[in-house]
Structure 1
Amino acid sequence: MEAQMTVKTTLSFTDRHHHFLAEKVGQGVFATQSAAVAAALEQMMQDEQERDVALAAITQEIRARMETPRSAFIDQDDAFATAQATIGTARGA
């Protein structure tokens, strides 16, 4: 784990954002407004990592499906036959 260095910066917020930050600090959710902003940034970074992982998985799945020969395709009626039979049974058909 890399060492964390604190960097002082100046940020500007809308009144709405400023009041929200002040309220969360006042409620004790965060120790300071800086801590709240840092938590929001950490969440954004985590969201971005998770999105990258999901997109990579989707890309891999699409590539795998594109390499599937047509002979391995499943007919839609066969694919949903079990589900349709279960629904029919549940409906008393």
Structure 2
Amino acid sequence: MTHKTTLSFTDRHHRFLTEKVGEGVFASQSAAVAAALEQMIRDEEERAILLDGMANEIRARMQTSRDEYVDPAPVFAAARRAI
């Protein structure tokens, strides 16, 4: 189902849309806007997946006991030598 709506664009955005339609990249300005919205939806979904993965990793690491921690001194010493 499609819905008709009215959108307003800056001169820059309107010029870009008009150029892309003229170049044949998109069939219409509506198609270009729909493609942009689809990309935004994919970006948001990917961001949610990544944030969920990070949250799960943080939760898992919070369960790590202190005796499993890595001593940072040798790691930083090696980094200082490299610098």
Q: TM-score, normalised by structure 1?
A: 0.77
| CA–CA distance in structure 1, aligned partners of residues 10 and 73 of structure 2 | 56
Could you say which structure has the greater relative contact order, defined with CA pairs below 8 angstroms and 6 or more residues apart?
A: 2
| CA–CA distance in structure 2, aligned partners of residues 15 and 27 of structure 1 | 18
- SS of aligned partner of 1:68: coil
Q: Number of residue pairs matched?
A: 79
Q: Which moved more, 1:69-78 or 1:58-67?
A: 69-78
Alignment root-mean-square deviation, CA: 1.7
| CA–CA distance in structure 1, aligned partners of residues 39 and 71 of structure 2 | 43
Deviations 1:11-55 (A, max 9, x none): 111111100000000011101000000000000000000000000
Over the matched positions of the two proteins, sequence identity in percent amounts to 64
For structure 1, the residue ranges without an aligned partner over 5 or more in a row are: 89-93
Q: TM-score, normalised by structure 2?
A: 0.86
Deviations 1:31-86 (A, max 9, x none): 100000000000000000000000000001111111100011111245x4xxx5xx
| CA–CA distance in structure 2, aligned partners of residues 68 and 14 of structure 1 | 52
Q: 1:47 aligns with which of 43, 57, 64?
A: 43
Structure with bigger gyration radius: 1
| CA–CA distance in structure 1, aligned partners of residues 33 and 63 of structure 2 | 45
For structure 2, the residue ranges without an aligned partner over 5 or more in a row are: none
Q: 2:65 aligns with which of 60, 69, 78?
A: 69
| CA–CA distance in structure 2, aligned partners of residues 39 and 20 of structure 1 | 14
